[in-house]
Amino acid sequence: MPKSQQLDADLIIIGGSTAGLATAIFGQLSGLKCHVFEPRLNNFVKSCGEGLMPSAVALLDEMGVNIPESSPLSGIRYASGNQQTQAQFPTGTGLGIQREVLHAAMLQRATELGVTFETTKIKKFQDHGSSVSAGGMTARWLVGCDGLKSSVRKQIGIDHGRKYPVRFGLNQHYEAKQQNTYVEVYWSKDFEVYITPVGPHVVNVAVLFSVGRPFEEFIEVVPGIFDKIGQPLSSVMGAGPFEQRPLKLKHGSIFLVGDAAGFLDPITGEGNQLAMNAAKNLIHCIVSEKPGTYGKKWHQITRDYWYCTSLLLWFARGKLRRKTIVPMLKIFSGLFPFILKRIS
């Protein structure tokens, strides 16, 4: 780029999900000019477990995001057959919130801070070394926040093979017949069902699995589920495959944040928290003029997630091991709170 050329922004952000909006908000709060490309900006619907850990709630507060409709979450309850165990979050209160509500709140905050947007799908970009260009704009850096199937990651050629069998997710909203402050997780013989309160009289029912079947066949195995939920309030949405392992997180003037940067499985429910935290740390690396340290920071903040998720997936992949997880957590009563402390 010629020295005389004027930059249009400091950051071009491709993708306006939680990762993209958090990057833009933290960027603007740090004095950077951010521009987001997201074709679904005003109609953003995405399959999600919709539970926020207490640390994610703290990050939303730090960004100044106002959450209008949500449900407090005090912990997580695991159940299998007629056995169950639970643990409270040791670091505060989480939130259950519909993804569209979270997106709208973050979008409003980003707009208040002066983030600019275009509802354009970016298919190609160029890295000039001292700048990047995309969608007719030029910026110092480009950040790929475009999800599990990231086109940014694919274009720069850093995709990596999966290690584990593929897993997918489905979710649907229902009327809530009961009030609850716990995320309830039911371990069946080869899948998990999550029930999360996400607003006044609304629950999100999500399923994680390897072998597909109709959504109703998944949830009807949960004991007494139709005493907890009423009529469906949305259509069934899906996501996956989950596991993504990029070779690196920075390539020239391009960074990856959120699911695009690497993801194993949503079994521990940390996706949104990891995306926000990675965005915060990326901006810190940029404004402190140490962009090359982002990869190290990312590995530090995601280390517990990868360890805990890998452990749970090890249990999930074995039929005999799956049967032991709830009894084991009951016997070793301090283990569940310890895990929640590491990931919440």
Q: Is residue 329 part of a domain?
A: no
pLDDT for position 81: 86
For residue 343, what are its two tokens?
Answer: 């990931």
Q: 1 falls in which pLDDT band (50, 70, 90)?
A: very low
The structure tokens 């999930």 sit at: 316
Q: 44 falls in which pLDDT band (50, 70, 90)?
A: confident
Residue 298 has pLDDT above 60, yes or no: yes
Q: How far apart are CA 44 and CA 197, in angstroms?
A: 20
Q: Is residue 178 part of a domain?
A: no
Query: Which residues have CB under 8 Å from 214's CB, separation 6+?
Result: none
pLDDT tens by residue, 52-109: 999 999 999 999 999 988 999 999 999 998 899 999 998 899 999 999 999 999 999 9
Q: 338 falls in which pLDDT band (50, 70, 90)?
A: confident
Average model confidence (pLDDT) across the chain: 92
Report the candidate in 269, 44, 62, 29 with the shortest Cα–Cα distance to residue 145. 44
What CATH number has the domain bearing residue 156?
A: 3.50.50.60
Q: Is residue 64 part of a domain?
A: yes
Which of residues 304 and 45 earns the better pLDDT score? 304
Mean pLDDT, residues 225-250: 92
Report the candidate in 175, 180, 174, 165 with the shortest Cα–Cα distance to residue 84. 180
Residue 4 has pLDDT above 80, yes or no: no
Length of the chain: 344
Q: Is residue 193 part of a domain?
A: no
pLDDT tens by residue, 154-209: 998 887 777 778 899 999 999 999 889 999 999 998 999 999 999 989 999 999 99
Neighbours of 100 (CB within 10 A): 15
In sequence order, the β-bridge partners of residue 142 are: 12, 254
With a pLDDT cut of 90, the percent of the chain lying above it is 73
Q: Is residue 268 part of a domain?
A: yes
Q: Is residue 142 part of a domain?
A: yes
Q: Which of 20-34, 90-104, 121-135 has the highest mean pLDDT?
A: 20-34
What are residue 37's phi and psi, to 5 degrees? -105, 120
Residue 231 has pLDDT above 60, yes or no: yes
Residue 251 has pLDDT above 70, yes or no: yes
- Burial classification of residue 212, based on how many CB atoms lie within 10 Å of its CB (0-12 exposed, 13-18 middle, 19 or more buried): middle
pLDDT for position 5: 59
Number of separate domains in the chain: 1
Q: Is residue 113 part of a domain?
A: yes
The structure tokens 């694919």 sit at: 154
Using an 8 Å Cβ cutoff, are 317 and 323 in contact? Answer: no
Q: Is residue 141 part of a domain?
A: yes
- Terminal C-alpha separation, the chain: 44
Using an 8 Å Cβ cutoff, are 20 and 258 in contact? Answer: yes
Q: Which domain holds residue 100?
A: 9-69+96-163+243-316
